[in-house]
Amino acid sequence: MATEHDRQSDPEKQSQQYASGEMESRTAQSPDKRATSSTRAEHHPSLPEADDGHDDESSSDEGGDQPSILDRVLSRVTSRSSVDPGPPPDGGMQAWSQCIAGHFVISNSWGFINSFGVWQDYLPTLLPERSDFEISFIGSLTVFLLFFLGTFTGRLADAGYFRPIFLLGSFFQLLGIFMTSLCTKYWHFMLAQGICIGIGNGLLFCPSLALVSTYFLKRRAVAIGLTAAGSVTGGLIFPIMARELLPRIGFPWTIRAIGLVQLASLAISNSLAKPRIRPRKTGPIVELAAFRELEYTFYVTGAFCFFWGVYFAFYYLARFSRDGLEKDPFSFDSSLNLLLVMNGVGLTGRIIPNFLADRFGAVNIFIPICGVTSLLSFCWIAVDTQGALYAWAVLYGIFAGGIQSLFPVALSFLTTDLRKLGVRMGMGFTIVSFAVLTGPPIAGSIIDSTGSYVGAQAFSGASLALGCFFLLCSKIVKMRKTGMGWRGKI
């Protein structure tokens, strides 16, 4: 008999178990239901056999309790496709095209978010009465909604509503970016850039990552890494556009030009994205049973901690280069070049760690990545020259890119039933949403109150160190549960 360690460390066996589990769940019907299905098939041979409308997660209606509105919407999905999709193809034109679709989604969401340092530095010229805390809250609200909506969009995508969610997300994304071009007041930016773009990101991000994960098993980490590399694409394109266009055509038309780029790329994503897994009918929006697995609980707790601190540099590096270096401060254009360097080298951090994760385990690679990022945050305190800041930006961009890329990879490997992937990933995203909502504003508040970056840099480093500790706890729990050693693939 295979041990649990064997089952979890061998992707091919997981594929076989997944396929057999799909067949068992479809054949475990009562005799009457099988007879009914058989009769229906005889009269309508062109139609696939329908499911019974209930899966193992369906809750009974004891006590006459009525289902919620969202539950009734989800339960409308019956058996749109009862054909077993089999194990993930792990390659092929269709599979890699999902990576392309996801790449463009990430470039428009995370690429724009990672470029917020441009706006953190520029918006005070439009809103001179606003503090660093208030400006950074615009970007934090965008990231919060991106993560927070993951619970609901992930579940709806699992239920078969991927296409309308994707279209609606594209609409909100484009509406928000074009409305931002008309903003003149702080509350305008909060509504357009913070809320509207945030909703669009939230509708697009989680379903896109979950979709890519369903096409890959043995190459899943690499596939997600290539998808996540979209943040590098957007993180290079959007700051370059801002640097070149802001002095020439001004803020409104610069934002509209960015919007046209997003319109074209989202059109490609909508044409390529194609769900593979059959809809999962009824089931909980939040799978509380996941938190009974200590390794999952420790993991998402650690994720909250390291996401609390990791984005401080992306928001404030350009600003620090101008007013944090007393000896040789950067100009505005040079500060954007620094942000470009940090975003550009992130490609290395999104590809190489994911390649290593497929070989050695995502959590095993994640722990040192997070630890080094924490150390770099503390080292930032000692940086006081332009050359040293460039070197620091290169190193931090690589390792912080690994954090952004490995987070969903490790989360997906904790889910054995791919039909639950959207829900579990959404739960993790919702938890970290509160970290990204509060982290950069807390750092900005520290800067406003002390007039120095040291406290904020220490806050970032300590948050990352605490996240690394909880990741290590997650690994230890998994080791004890599976009987693996320290070299075990987790």
pLDDT per residue as tens digits for the range 51-75: 333 344 433 344 444 555 545 544 4
Q: What is the pTM of this model?
A: 0.73
Sign of the dihedral through C-alpha 464, 466, 471, 475: positive
Average pLDDT, the chain: 81
Instruction: Please indicate whether residue 419 or residue 371 has the higher confidence score (pLDDT).
Output: 371
pLDDT tens-place string over residues 379-429 = 999 999 999 999 999 999 999 989 988 887 887 766 666 666 667 777 888
- pLDDT: is 151 or 306 the higher one? 306
Compute the average pLDDT of residues 27-51. Answer: 40
pLDDT exceeds 90 at position 25: no
Helices 197-214 and 132-148: angle between axes, nearest 10 degrees: 40
Closest CA to 302 of 490, 475, 470, 464: 470
**In CATH, what class is 93-482?**
mainly alpha
Q: Which has the minimum average pLDDT: 48-52, 213-217, 243-247?
A: 48-52
For 155-159, 302-306, 325-329, 397-401, which range has the lowest pLDDT when averaged over its residues? Answer: 155-159
Domain residues of the chain, as ranges?
93-482
**pLDDT, mean of residues 160-168:** 92
Q: Is the pLDDT of residue 246 over 80?
A: yes
> Which pLDDT does position 418 carry in this prediction?
64
- Cβ atoms of 160 and 80 closer than 8 Å: yes
CA dist list (Å): 340 to 101, 333, 345, 391, 443: 23, 11, 9, 13, 22
Ramachandran assignment for 60, one of left (phi > 0), alpha (psi -120 to 50 degrees), beta (any other) = beta
Which pLDDT value is given to residue 411?
77
Per-residue model confidence (pLDDT) at position 45: 36
User: If you search the block for the tokens 């903003």, which residue do you land on?
Assistant: 183
Selected residue with higher pLDDT from 404 and 311: 311
Give residue 241's identity as a one-letter amino acid code: M
Task: Give me the pLDDT at residue 42, please.
Answer: 40
Q: Is it the case that residue 83 has pLDDT exceeding 70?
A: no
Q: What percent of the chain has pLDDT over 90?
A: 46
* Predicted pLDDT of residue 12: 46
**Average pLDDT of the segment spanning 13-38:** 43
| CA-based radius of gyration for the chain | 23
C-beta neighbour count of 385 within 10 angstroms: 11
pLDDT at 5 over 70: no
